[in-house]
Amino acid sequence: MAARDALQAQLEQGIAALGLNLPAAAVPRLLDYQALLERWNAAYNLTAVRDPAEMVTRHLLDSLTILPYVQGASLADLGTGPGLPGIVLAIAAPGREILLVDSNGKKVRFLREAIRALKLEGVRAEQSRVEDVAGRFDCITARAFASLADMLAWGGHLLAQDGIWLAMKGKRPDDELPGIPTGFALRSTHELAVPGLPAERHLLVLGRT
């Protein structure tokens, strides 16, 4: 239990550093998610991050940095992997319909177990290629799974007319900006500071023109 207490302290300090107010149950549920991911990871190799404290930093806090930019009643997380940032956002800001999309069967099996075990309402997982997904969403998140050109070419049809696309990147991808397809435009760029992570992180907010 001592290990979980240390992770909880780390997570709470990170949330405070980000200036976020989360629901009362969010911290224990985020830690339940981290524990589930750690357990499944041993068998299924869902993430290269093995260390629990590093999972808190690189997965939980990294995902939470974009929470202030999330909007709307529906969200699709494309190339979600083991649920990043989608499951973290579902726990931190419940109440919206969330679709988690990944083409990897092992990851989707984990997602479905996480949704069940964590009792995440309004969240579902779909094993699919992004271009085959149907629907329209107010907000789309994508964590560095492809270039901006590819992301929008494959998944642009999913973005509602007034929706926003949140592309999470490491270094600022200036070389990718000319590749943004017609019909979409960069609205803003934000440098993100992930507590405990010295690496560069950027969020690009895109929308329809």
Q: What is the pLDDT of residues 67-96, one digit of tens each?
A: 999 999 999 999 999 999 999 999 999 999
> What is the rounded average pLDDT for all residues in the chain?
97
Distance CA 63, CA 160 (A): 22
CATH fold for domain 62-208:
Rossmann fold (3.40.50)
Provide the phi-psi class of 72: left if phi over 0, else alpha when psi is between -120 and 50, else beta.
left
Could you tell me which of 29, 65, 34, 3 has the C-alpha nearest to residue 193?
65
Residue 17 has pLDDT above 80, yes or no: yes
Dihedral angle, C-alpha 137, 33, 195, 47, nearest 10 °: -90
Residue 186 has pLDDT above 90, yes or no: yes
Q: What average pLDDT does the segment 156-169 reach? A: 98
Distance of CA 195 to the CA centre of its chain: 16
